[in-house]
A and B are shown apart, each in its own frame.
Chain A
């Protein structure tokens, strides 16, 4: 279980680093709010959601998408669906 959780976090971090290529591994912060990202706009939001859906084979709702303000928020949604 521990291994699976760790893997989810790694994979989600990888998704964030893909969608925000200006961000480095060391500057990644689970609690960093959306407004502190340079490019976290509605397109990035969509890309985050569809990327996790595809990666973890889960479905999210429009309400989920609206509630995501940090990487941690998205992690919680992913964990609640897998």
Chain B
């Protein structure tokens, strides 16, 4: 087995009529998906081996066919988020220089600003019609499977070049740790253009199970309905989705999901209260999270059941993955930058951008700050880039944000460092509130009671929105 397409082939041979993918548009069995992938890939063989082919879709069967078709044809699938900004799309295309962009009719309009660039645009259905159906011959695989840009939270977009071996290693780990089987029916309300969603697709293909794709912008009631309708066994959802289900649809959530064997979320600040609530409401369900980056997918796993007191942890390193925490002096420390080594870690970035900063002797320097507890469980403390140096005192914005967000009436809060003549940097807080009576003195007073003096935000600005990436991460550099 060399690529994820090999697993599709095996699943098709074992169980051709089994449903592989369900979307709002239909159900597609393994044989249909396989044949479509073969047909799609035949049209890509006119491009030289190892070409980049951009795929630009919302969650759909077209995404699945195009992604696997590109890989089968021996090319690199550049996966573009359907929510990408115009500027970011232009930057990515400029950087990736794809042979073609394959997209769907409903997303095609987003590519209009690319006309001036020398890039071939293809609509999925028309592209399929041009393909021959009888090409059963596999291409020689590229070493690389996918190119995913991790743009947005910093000013420079970086393309993570993901090898087939990265995908297979990570997928085997997911299957092993989360005990995935062919009988699973996975509900995935996550964008396939993101590592979390794409990993779910890989897992489903690997184990020959069924994946139900919901669009990224979810309707919670539709989601819950499909869990019940298809007798789903797993739900993969980001923490805000789980929090929303708990807050606004609690009874429906419990009723529809109590038979799930697994709920998996990811590491972007899964709230301690959410963990406790889910464990309490779903005593028969395994609840898990992981820590990973596009550059090092699923580096840890955390299964919360029976791990009281570790609700804030992202777990222990995945099998075969090494993690160390390094201080400013480059030596292992109690608290510091998280570094990862293993077959899940990419070898380099596209065009080798930032390789020197990010890789050292096989270790990926993540830029995340963390610590291990005495039992080897990892805790995330924040981003190294976001660290604010207030007169020599190091301040993690996450800690301040957590405190401010616990004030009643605060909808969202982001802390950044801004220049100050005396201290070098001071903490400035951007706050969204739904309580018109809440003032900055109240916030400051609460912070003074709950934080060290140097961590207290000196400046507080009330805003209506915060700049975020298409994946919902705050673009702090725009606030500094």
Interface 0/1 of A1-44, CB less than 8 Å to B = 00000000000001100110100000000000000000101111
Residue of B nearest to A65 (CB): B422
What residues of chain A lie closer than 8 Å to B422, measured between beta carbons? 42, 46, 62
Q: Are B441 and A44 in contact (CB under 8 A)?
A: no
Number of interface residues of A (CB under 8 A): 17
Q: Does B421 contact A (CB under 8 A)?
A: yes
Q: Knowing A46-B426, A62-B422 touch, does A18 contact B445 (C-beta < 8 A)?
A: yes
Contacts of B449 in A (CB 8 A): 21
CB–CB A21/B441 < 8 A: no
- Checking A19, A42, A54, A55 against B391 with a beta-carbon cut-off of 8 angstroms, the contacting residue is A42
Closest A residue, CB atoms, query B440: A54
Docked complex: B401-434 residues within 8 A CB-CB of A? 420-423, 426
Q: Are B453 and A43 in contact, CB atoms less than 8 angstroms apart?
A: yes
The answer to whether B453 and A41 touch across the interface, beta carbons within 8 angstroms, is yes
**Bound CA–CA A62/B391 (angstroms):** 16
Least distance between A13 CB and chain B CB atoms (Å): 12
Q: Are B445 and A50 in contact (CB under 8 A)?
A: no
**Does A58 count as interface, using CB distance less than 8 angstroms?**
no
**B73 contacts chain A at the CB level, 8 A cutoff:** no
Q: Shortest beta-carbon distance, A24 to chain B, in Å?
A: 14
For B443, give the chain A residue with the smallest CB separation. A18
B444 lies within 8 A of A43 (CB): no
In the complex, A47 has a CB within 8 A of chain B: yes
A-B interface contact total, Cβ < 8 Å:
44
Asked if B438 lies at the interface with its beta carbon under 8 angstroms from chain A, I say no
B334 touches A (CB below 8 Å): no
The answer to the question of A77 belonging to the interface, with a C-beta cut-off of 8 Å to chain B, is no
Inter-subunit contact A21/B445 (CB<8 Å): yes
Name the contact of A46 in the complex, choosing from B420, B441, B445, B460 (C-beta under 8 A): B420
Does any Cβ of B come within 8 Å of A51's Cβ?
A: yes
Residue on A with the closest CB to B428?
Answer: A50
Hey, which chain B residues are within 8 Å of A62, CB to CB? Answer: 421-422
Across-interface contacts of B426 in A (CB, < 8 A): 46
Contacts of A19 in B (CB 8 A): 444-445, 448
Task: List chain B residues, Cβ under 8 A from A14.
Answer: 441
Smallest CB gap from A62: residue in B: B421
B420 and A47 form a contact (CB under 8 A): no
Question: Is there contact, CB below 8 Å, between B459 and A50?
Answer: yes
Do A44 and B453 contact each other (CB < 8 Å), given the known contacts A50-B458, A54-B440?
yes
Q: Within the complex, which residue of B421, B441, B459, B460 is in contact with A15, where a contact is CB–CB below 8 Å?
A: B441
B454 contacts the other chain (Cβ, under 8 Å)? yes
Contact between A46 and B423, CB atoms less than 8 A apart: yes
A residues near B454, Cβ cutoff 8 Å: 43
**Closest A residue to B390 using CB positions:** A43
B458 to A, closest residue via Cβ = A50
Residue-wise interface mask of B (386-403) relative to A, using a CB-CB cutoff of 8 A (1 in contact, 0 not): 000011000000000000
In the bound assembly, the distance between CA atoms of A51 and B426 in angstroms comes to 14
How many angstroms from the CA of A19 to the CA of B442 in the assembled complex? 10
CB distance from B367 to the nearest CB of A (A): 27
CB nearest to B452 among chain A residues: A43
- Within 8 Å of chain A (Cβ to Cβ): is B76? no
A41-B453, A42-B391 as given contacts; A47 in contact with B421, CB under 8 Å: no
Closest A residue by C-beta to B393: A43
Asked whether any CB of chain A lies closer than 8 Å to the CB of B378, the reply is no
Q: What are the residues of chain B within 8 A of A15 when measuring CB–CB?
A: 441
Look across to chain B and name the residue whose beta carbon is closest to the beta carbon of A11.
Answer: B441
Judging by beta carbons under 8 Å apart, are B441 and A51 in contact? Answer: yes
With A42-B422, A46-B420 given, is the CB distance from A51 to B444 under 8 Å?
A: yes
B5: shortest Cβ distance to chain A, in Å? 58
Measured between alpha carbons, how far is A14 from B391 in the docked complex, in Å?
A: 27
Once the chains are docked, how many angstroms separate the CA of A39 from the CA of B422? 18
In the complex, A18 Cα to B456 Cα: how many Å?
12
Q: Which 7 A-B pairs have the closest CB atoms?
A: A18-B445, A43-B453, A18-B441, A50-B458, A43-B454, A47-B458, A46-B458
Binding site for A on B (CB under 8 A): 390-391, 420-423, 426, 440-441, 444-445, 448-449, 453-454, 456, 458-460
Q: Which residues of A contact B (CB under 8 A)?
A: 14-15, 18-19, 21, 39, 41-44, 46-47, 50-51, 54-55, 62
Given contacts A47-B448, A62-B421, 20 further A-B contacts (CB under 8 A): A14-B441, A15-B441, A18-B441, A18-B445, A19-B445, A21-B448, A21-B449, A43-B390, A43-B454, A43-B456, A44-B453, A46-B420, A46-B422, A46-B423, A46-B426, A47-B444, A47-B456, A50-B459, A54-B459, A62-B422
A-B contact pairs, 19 of them (CB 8 A): A14-B441, A18-B445, A19-B444, A19-B448, A21-B445, A21-B448, A21-B449, A39-B453, A42-B422, A43-B423, A43-B456, A44-B453, A46-B423, A50-B459, A51-B440, A51-B444, A54-B459, A55-B441, A62-B422
